[in-house]
Structure 1
């Protein structure tokens, strides 16, 4: 038994160090698979010895606690809101008021993350409470949910008697896009923007759901900082980093308001380059003595102001509303728009999600509408401009029959979605095959939607497993297929047989089961046969596998059609086991950035090569970047790497590293 406790201590230490390397230092030293294996071992040991579970154990991040209700929490100090500035004139007026008191002043400018304020309390170095802002004086306790956010430390690096931290909980754009896609496929209502998604996730009664949403956190404020000998905002940011918090690195110091104004204007044009939403900048007087002298109004501090970016909303016309039938049978209405530029790209379509959304916004065919990109990612209709109606606009009605197969369309009770009721619907089959061959699934290059449609129309395939029976003679007659294209496609299909278990699980299109879940399941079970035989309790015991996913897996693998489909894949020689031979971890602990147009690899392929070898494929260059792989037309990331003196490799040089790894 003593060995168990020693192992528990060792596992906690190793996982805590892994979290530090990942969140604080941006230099992961172990792979996701290795991390998950350590976490599973610790969960098993703590289940065996429940008295050993500590409040700061890494296992407390996985979620699962269900709260009966929210407890009200009174904040030690009110969480005041900031006054807003909307243009240069507002900023100059703010500066004028400050300089009436102080002739010389230093401003710290930080990004205004579009999330929600989360207040954290630490006692003797341990995180004991997380709370929402609420009305500024009283918030709601969300401690169990906050613990699931990996960038929030459960234990401080240097324990102090009490510490109260303020920061922003947010949902990264990638998490937001994935969450909305999953909800749309499930027939659930989607979130309007990452801020709403983050707020909804942190206020879940079941913290396991919060854990699945992949939220993040930036710390930016410390109460009673002067008691710790901290004299200004820069000192606070540095202290927070020392204590294990993630601080947004994009802050700058200015001595002149005109420099601040110039920076605000620059950042308004660069706001889309970040992997999270920002809606402005926060300008603060750096020195705490000056802050105290300037004081507060009833609602906000006089020493800080929020500069709000102009809203990026564009007017266009809804030319039509069409329906797409997804692989789960959900009919999703999509607005066909007059093409307009929005947030860096041309938009001609926008999902309308469901009929309820269309009715709520009163969207009609022919309407003039305002659109934007939710989370700078998803084109969305904000509202209609009814004053521009001519009377020729038409209401959209959901059909009684599926537009693809003429089968009945029904709306199940409690769902926003309308679904085609036929499991033989060609649209569902087509979408399922498109998903099966996609990059993160079986990655069959050259097999796009048009080719798949031709194969279905020619009755050459009925499902994705039939792809492995295609011959050269089948492919050559297809439109735009030629001899070379047919040979390349057959090679890509053959190569996909070796993709392995994790991509195959994702390729099956099981409800709620994404790329990461595929990796977790592959690492846990090792073979499709063992996964097929897993029961509900066995699945629920796996970290990151929630009730919805577990039930979907059991239901999917319990169907005769699934068994027949997998048998066809096995007969075709598709690999149904996970790789047991580990790659040499030549990039362990290294953060690597890939930029520019690549010739040898697709972006996802080179990122996989990096991750398989223990590295992290990062999206931005920082001092912690090990090296940059630069292709043609590499832009600002290459310039930043050169400015920082970071090594820049060509694709050829990177390939040589892979050849030398043994």
Structure 2
């Protein structure tokens, strides 16, 4: 029996550690909060009953997840402990009873919305933001200061008066639902992986290494807890500190409430159980804190959580439905996504008929069969998701659902690249959704922005046989008679469309490169490739290594670009687009040199720099007459090296005896 218990504990520990890694490090939620908490509670029970098998690294002994290696690790001055939680009102009453037994009946509570986001601790010195650190493992976290500075609601400088010389304020970074839906749609249109919910999107965003990219994604932040030396001399209660933080200009939720009894707390919980669906952001519960700081100190902490606070978590909206069948959607990049088609069911105020199944792994994990009764959840998942199968209701003789081996649209055998979960149809030439989706992407607002031509028109043109590839759009001027035969397409509409196509020929190379729809090439990647290689011909002539060496590109993107530009059908299409007049060369602007100290010298920039971006250094070099090269060779005069430069590049430069200088040494050369 003891061996069975030991094995149970080991299995639960391994499972929960993996979920923690997926959630905290990869920002990927593979299990609902409720199911995770149930597994954690079961492990905690087994460990208490059999302490001889307790592992010091058990998930029950940890606060959060591991530290990502991308950022500087910073210790927390005050540990960021997690809260004990419950889904049960009786346990809340027991919490209240324990508090009153310890400190007496003169207790009030502050009730706050439990935001479903990413915890952050922000330190201010003399009113100036010094650093922002994620929760990490509770004792130390990631320094994401530059990214947090991009959040408009977080002040860089406190302008009001009365704040301590040094303090830390904690809160939650989140993304509003409307922004999540818009940005996810944009990612889908670009052929990029979408996020399951706003929390994951916010977490993924704050872990980006380029603050300029973070700034493009609208994050918000609610702040809700203050730490400072001698805090109790400034404020007697948590409620007073919240009011002060508001006065100092911090974004504090207006929905918090001071409650004087556990019944008031329960009324607050009941109210928000319904009203939370009307918020523009997600919450997954209510946090209850003892208000008086002196009582908080009296109650103290356990090893992992304060005894003076608890969170009540709402169960995610879940309903039971029947799986009718699984359909498969083919995207413009060839990605094949399975979709569960369900008996209509009311969930979180809307009727749900379809739910995402993500990929083949998810179908296998769920062990789906035809006609299965399933649980559908929509809590933090704006997109409904099947959480499990009710196997006891499975129909006798029902067949297991198997992910297709061939494209549901063109019957081409599907492929799956190593390290990816998604299957792709490689038939870009004749697979209808890929052709139509590619053209619809091409005309989009952030791509070629072709006025007078919408997605429905593109599909109608394809169905009519007037276009079968992007370059065909630029031959429509010769098909006016055919266009006039199309329904709801008069001469004025045709003229507007043709004018829009003509004007699109003036779009810069970076827009054209983005519009081509090369897999993994989004707006930012296209711009960096265009700036680096200057023309499609130079990009096509580059080696895989040279493309991967461009700032923020990497091997996966480089391979996608290289394969695209070495496929005969794509090269033929590019030639047709060139003849149509599209821009495939960066328009060189007249440069007014700031000096000629670098004239005749060649440079390559590699690594990360504290004071300048690589683009800024490039501009400085070129403004003083220097010329940039795309790779290390004997023709290179200087390698400007920053932190985290690749060892292979360094070794090659040393072998060729290329002078390696810092950015400061570059400025010394210029000033000489």
TM class by smaller structure: 0.5 to 0.7
Change (3 A) 1:225 1:541: farther
Q: In 1, distance between residues paired with 2:586 and 2:275?
A: 42
Cα displacement (A) at 1:429: 1.0
Query: 2:617 maps to which residue?
Result: none
Cα displacement (A) at 1:348: 2.0
Q: In 2, distance between residues paired with 1:279 and 1:171?
A: 14
Counterpart check, 1:397 vs 2:399: no
> Residues 168 and 218 of structure 1 are in contact (CA less than 8 Å); yes or no, is this contact kept in structure 2?
yes
Secondary structure of the structure 2 residue equivalent to 1:410: coil
Secondary structure of the structure 2 residue equivalent to 1:378: coil
Greater Cα radius of gyration, structure 1 or 2: 2
Q: In 1, distance between residues paired with 2:297 and 2:80?
A: 15
Change (3 A) 1:577 1:379: farther
Query: 1:249 maps to which residue?
Result: 253
Higher relative contact order (CA 8 A, sep 6+): 1
How is 1:512-591 mapped onto 2 (pairs within 5 angstroms)? 512-514=520-522, 565=573, 568-569=576-577, 572=580
Query: 1:649 maps to which residue?
Result: none
Query: 1:650 maps to which residue?
Result: none
Q: In 2, distance between residues paired with 1:348 and 1:316?
A: 9
* Residue segments in structure 1 that go unaligned for 5+ positions in a row: 1-64, 581-662
> Residues 127 and 154 of structure 1 are in contact (CA less than 8 Å); yes or no, is this contact kept in structure 2?
no
* Residue segments in structure 2 that go unaligned for 5+ positions in a row: 1-66, 589-672
2:467 to 461, 464, 486: 461
Query: 2:374 maps to which residue?
Result: 369
1:113 to 99, 102, 115: 115
Secondary structure of the structure 1 residue equivalent to 2:436: helix
Q: In 2, distance between residues paired with 1:275 and 1:561?
A: 46
Counterpart check, 1:289 vs 2:289: no
Cα displacement (A) at 1:355: 0.9
* 1:398-439 Cα shifts (integer Å, max 9, x gaps): 333323223232223222222222231323112212323445
Q: In 1, distance between residues paired with 2:502 and 2:88?
A: 56
> Residues 192 and 374 of structure 1 are in contact (CA less than 8 Å); yes or no, is this contact kept in structure 2?
no
Greater Cα offset, 156-165 or 490-499: 156-165
> Residues 533 and 539 of structure 2 are in contact (CA less than 8 Å); yes or no, is this contact kept in structure 1?
no
Query: 1:132 maps to which residue?
Result: 135
Change (3 A) 1:298 1:375: closer
Cα displacement (A) at 1:460: 1.2
Q: In 2, distance between residues paired with 1:352 and 1:111?
A: 30
> Residues 316 and 380 of structure 2 are in contact (CA less than 8 Å); yes or no, is this contact kept in structure 1?
no
Query: 2:147 maps to which residue?
Result: 148
Q: In 2, distance between residues paired with 1:343 and 1:531?
A: 53
Q: TM-score, normalised by structure 1?
A: 0.61
Q: In 1, distance between residues paired with 2:429 and 2:200?
A: 37
2:320 to 315, 319, 334: 315
Cα displacement (A) at 1:367: 1.2
How is 1:205-604 mapped onto 2 (pairs within 5 angstroms)? 207=209, 217-224=221-228, 226-227=230-231, 229-237=234-242, 247-255=251-259, 260-293=265-298, 295-296=300-301, 300-373=305-378, 375-427=380-432, 428-438=434-444, 440-442=446-448, 452-470=458-476, 471-478=479-486, 481-484=487-490, 487-488=492-493, 491-492=496-497, 494-495=499-500, 497-498=502-503, 500-501=507-508, 506-514=514-522, 565=573, 568-569=576-577, 572=580
> Residues 405 and 426 of structure 1 are in contact (CA less than 8 Å); yes or no, is this contact kept in structure 2?
yes
Q: In 2, distance between residues paired with 1:96 and 1:312?
A: 30
Cα displacement (A) at 1:514: 3.8
Change (3 A) 1:330 1:259: same
Query: 1:167 maps to which residue?
Result: 171
> Residues 124 and 131 of structure 2 are in contact (CA less than 8 Å); yes or no, is this contact kept in structure 1?
yes
Change (3 A) 1:453 1:545: same
* 1:528-582 Cα shifts (integer Å, max 9, x gaps): 879969978799777x7777556655765676655654565565566889999xx
> Residues 171 and 221 of structure 2 are in contact (CA less than 8 Å); yes or no, is this contact kept in structure 1?
yes
